[in-house]
């Protein structure tokens, strides 16, 4: 089996992970049918983009150059950012038609640029460090649209969160922030020309978005953040303490004739085991204060 075939199979496996999300979203969700429909479309497009990328990387789909392949990913990111914005607007019960008009405007811009209606020259804008050519104007316009739709989605989520008085709804809105952060991380890699094969970060964002829609009362995000931060900080402190203690012991005791690094390491581990519980308590209290829990 060739390497290209293996790559294609791996992309198919990744694409298959989108299917349970679609099946979960097509169930009826009282009051959120429109959001579920939009996110289902998002998931399906992500699935087909993954398959198409797998076919290209597997040698089954011809694309003239990696640059053109990446441009297609930029157009895909633009499309998905618009659909995610529609999902969020439906979720927070806001009017979508204004943004539908903006989306039509952006598509019209793509068409006009693609057909070169304005008869632009080869070089559109040039500075000492940057040159925008007519050849790159289309993906740049798409990237700008991605930015507009993505930031608008975040703004609408935070505005709805600030205006809502319902604790459960506010908690669900909090979950959209990591969704957008994952999307930004995934798509920025595409925009800079270094996409992660298969875009698994996008899959994670879609899975989290699906969880928000299908779960009426998700776990308090602040509680999740508290636990994660507590254990991350505790782990970092313990590792730092161990490394610092072991390094210091080598500096101080290395000249001794009976120096035993295993014994020193065991001693440091014993000290860490004794201070772990009070250290965890202190860090948990600090994190709670920081998160206002």
133, containing H or E segment: strand 131-133
**What integer pLDDT is reported at residue 243 of this predicted model?**
78
Least Cα distance to 224 among 281, 177, 156, 274 occurs for 177
3-state secondary structure of 92: coil
Q: Is residue 241 a contact partner of residue 272, using CB atoms and an 8 Å limit?
A: yes
Residue 126, number of CB atoms within 10 A of its CB:
10
The string of DSSP letters for 173-218 reads HHHHHHHHHHHHHHHHHHHTT-PPTT-HHHHHHHHHHHHHHH-SSP
Q: Is residue 54 a contact partner of residue 41, using CB atoms and an 8 Å limit?
A: no
**What integer pLDDT is reported at residue 105 of this predicted model?**
96
**What integer pLDDT is reported at residue 97 of this predicted model?**
94
Per the document, the length of the chain is: 293
Domains and CATH numbers, the chain: 3-218 (1.20.1070), 222-290 (no CATH)
**What integer pLDDT is reported at residue 29 of this predicted model?**
66
The model's confidence at residue 153, banded by pLDDT at 50, 70 and 90, is: very high
What are 2-43's pLDDT values in tens digits? 888 889 999 999 999 999 999 989 876 667 889 999 999 999
**What integer pLDDT is reported at residue 82 of this predicted model?**
97
Query: What is residue 94's DSSP assignment?
Result: -
**What integer pLDDT is reported at residue 260 of this predicted model?**
67
Distance, in Å, from the CA atom of 237 to the CA atom of 231, rounded to the nearest integer, reads 10
What residues form DSSP beta bridges with 133?
123
Angle at 177 (CA atoms; ends 88, 138), nearest 5 degrees: 65
Q: Is the pLDDT of residue 66 over 60?
A: yes
What are 248-270's pLDDT values in tens digits? 777 766 666 666 667 767 777 77
């Amino acid at each position: 089996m060739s390497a290209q075939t293996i790559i294609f199979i791996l992309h198919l496996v990744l694409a298959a992970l989108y299917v349970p999300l679609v099946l979960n979203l097509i169930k009826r969700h009282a009051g959120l049918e429109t959001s579920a429909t939009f996110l289902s479309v998002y998931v399906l497009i992500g699935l087909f983009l993954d398959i198409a990328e797998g076919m290209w990387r597997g040698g089954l789909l011809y694309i003239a150059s990696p640059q053109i392949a990446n441009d297609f990913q930029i157009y895909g990111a633009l499309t998905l950012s618009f659909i995610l914005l529609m999902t969020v607007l439906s979720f927070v019960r806001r009017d979508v038609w204004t943004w539908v008009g903006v989306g039509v405007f952006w598509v019209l811009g793509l068409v006009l640029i693609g057909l070169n209606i304005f008869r632009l020259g080869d070089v559109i804008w040039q500075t000492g460090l940057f040159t925008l050519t007519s050849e790159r104007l289309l993906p740049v316009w798409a990237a700008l649209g991605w930015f507009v739709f993505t930031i608008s989605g975040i703004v609408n989520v935070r505005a709805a969160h600030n205006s809502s008085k319902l604790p459960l709804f506010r908690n669900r809105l909090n979950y959209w922030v990591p969704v957008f952060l994952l999307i930004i991380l995934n798509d920025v890699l595409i925009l800079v020309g270094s996409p992660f094969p298969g875009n698994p970060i996008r899959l994670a964002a879609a899975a989290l978005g699906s969880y928000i829609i299908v779960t009426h009362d998700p776990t308090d995000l602040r509680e999740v953040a508290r636990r994660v931060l507590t254990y991350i900080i505790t782990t970092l402190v313990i590792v730092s303490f161990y490394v610092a203690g072991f390094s210091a012991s080598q500096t101080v005791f290395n000249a001794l004739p009976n120096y035993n690094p295993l014994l020193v390491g065991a001693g440091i581990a014993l000290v860490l085991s004794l201070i772990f519980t009070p250290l965890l308590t202190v860090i948990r209290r600090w994190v709670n204060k920081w998160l206002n829990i």
